[in-house]
Every structure is written in structure tokens, then in C-alpha cells.
Amino acid sequence: MADDDAREGNHKNGATRVEEEEKNAVPPPDDEVAAAVVERFPETVFHRSHGQPVVYVDRSVWADIAAFLRDEQEFTQCIDVTAVDHLVDAVRLEVPGVVPERFEIVANYLSHPRNRRLRAICEVPAADATVPSLTPLYPGANFAEREVFDMFGITFDGHPELTRILMPDDWEGFPLRKDDSPARVPVTFKEDPGPR
């Protein structure tokens, strides 16, 4: 009896472990482009976000994936490049297999011949906020990357002219960072002998 119980217990535990492993395993991409990206760049994580294919890519291959999409997958346009600051998120979307960092760079690609889209997201730590630039591959990313630099202070390696685009050239701070308060204006009082 005791042996039976023990065996049963073991069996149950084993079953649970397998189930857990199955649950944690990343499902194979059900999008052909994403599957090709994951096959070429094994560290990429696929995620389907409200029906849209998304790949979470490593920072070191950010531009390589763009080149792969452009040259081998007929992705004719980089529709948009933007960034997200997750500093003060109440609840953050958890994607299994992705180590979250403070910033995310988001690039939306569009393939006209194949009529499909793909979104690539790259985690960027605040301490070293640099990613390879997409502008040499998709010249249309020029303004967008300048805007991300202007708003978030994230720099792009290989960008031809990384300057502020929307804010004045002498602006201090990066307005869309969550810890930046653009409305703060240093006030000086005429009668005040010194700072209080």
C-alpha cells in the first residue's frame, strides 16, 4: 500500500513537472516570417500580441534582423521605430523568455509584396541605452530614430546625424522618460537673496 502511494505520488509529481515544462516552453511561431527569424537567430523569442506577430530580439542582432528581413524576407518598409519607457508600469506585460529592461525599442516592418507585418522589440537597459541604427538599412528610420533619441536619450550606433529633432538643440533632459518632468521651470525671485 505504502509503495503504491509513493509510486502514485511520484507519478503525480512527474506529471506535474512535465506539464510545467510544457507550460514554460515557448510555443513554436505560427507565423512563417517569425519562424524564419527564430531559426536564423535562435535567441529570438516569438510572441503573438493580440493576433499580431512580434519577435523579441537581442540587442546585438537588432540590425542583422532588419537586414535579414529586408534582403531575404522582402520586407520593403520599416514603417515605424519608437521606444517605450517601462520605469513606472503598474503591471507589465510578461513575455516568457524575455528578460525585461527599462526601455524597449519597437520597430514595425511591413512587406508590400507579401502583405504582412512583423514587429521587432528589443530590450535596452537604462545604464547602456544604445542600439544599432537601422538608418543605413532603411533610410526612412532616420527621423524616427532621431525622435527616439530626442525623447528617450537612447543612442543609435551608426546613425548619420543623431541630433535633437523636435525639442530645441539646447534642451536638457529627455521628455518622454518617465522620470523627466518637462513642465518643471527653475523659478528665480527678484527679491530673493538666494535659493531657499
Partner 1 sequence: MSDRRDTTRGEPFVPDPNLARFTDEPSQELMTRDVVVTGGPWPEAEDGGETMIINMGPQHPSTHGVLRVMLELDAETIVRAKAVIGYLHTGMEKTGEELTYFQGSTNVTRMDYAAPLSNELAFSMATERLLDIDVPPRATWIRMYLMELNRMASHLLWQATNGLDMGALSMIVYGWREREATLRLLEKITGLRMNNNFVRPGGVVADLHDGWEQDTLELCDTVEKGASEYDELLTGNPIWQERTVGVGVITTEQALALGVSGPILRSTGFPWDLRKAQPYLAYDELDFDVIYTANGDSYDRYRIRLNEILESVKMVRQCVEKMPPGDYRVQDAKVTPPPRARIDESMEALIHHFKLFTEGFKVPPGETYVANESPRGEIGCYLVSDGTSKPSRLHIRGPSFYNLQSMSPMMEERLIADAVAVISTIDPIMGEVDR
What is the contact surface with partner 1 in residues (CB under 8 A)?
49-52, 54, 70, 74, 76-80, 82, 84-86, 89-93, 106, 108, 112-113, 115, 117, 119, 136-144, 147, 151, 160, 164-168, 175-176, 182
d(CA 13, CA 8): 9
How many residues are there in the chain? Answer: 196
Contact present, 22 and 15 (Cβ < 8 Å): no
Which among 16, 11, 73, 6 has a CA at the least distance from the CA of 41? 73
Contact present, 69 and 114 (Cβ < 8 Å): no
| CB of 61 or CB of 109, closer to partner 1 | 109
Least separation in angstroms between CB 140 and partner 1: 3
| CB of 50 or CB of 196, closer to partner 1 | 50
Least separation in angstroms between CB 42 and partner 1: 24
Least separation in angstroms between CB 63 and partner 1: 11
Least separation in angstroms between CB 2 and partner 1: 47
| CB of 115 or CB of 188, closer to partner 1 | 115
Rg (CA), the chain: 23
The DSSP bridge partners found for residue 53 are 48
How many helices and strands in the chain, by DSSP H and E? 4, 7
Centre a 10 Å sphere on the Cβ of residue 64 and count the other Cβ atoms it contains. Answer: 15
d(CA 12, CA 52): 37
| CB of 113 or CB of 195, closer to partner 1 | 113
Least separation in angstroms between CB 162 and partner 1: 13
| CB of 26 or CB of 176, closer to partner 1 | 176
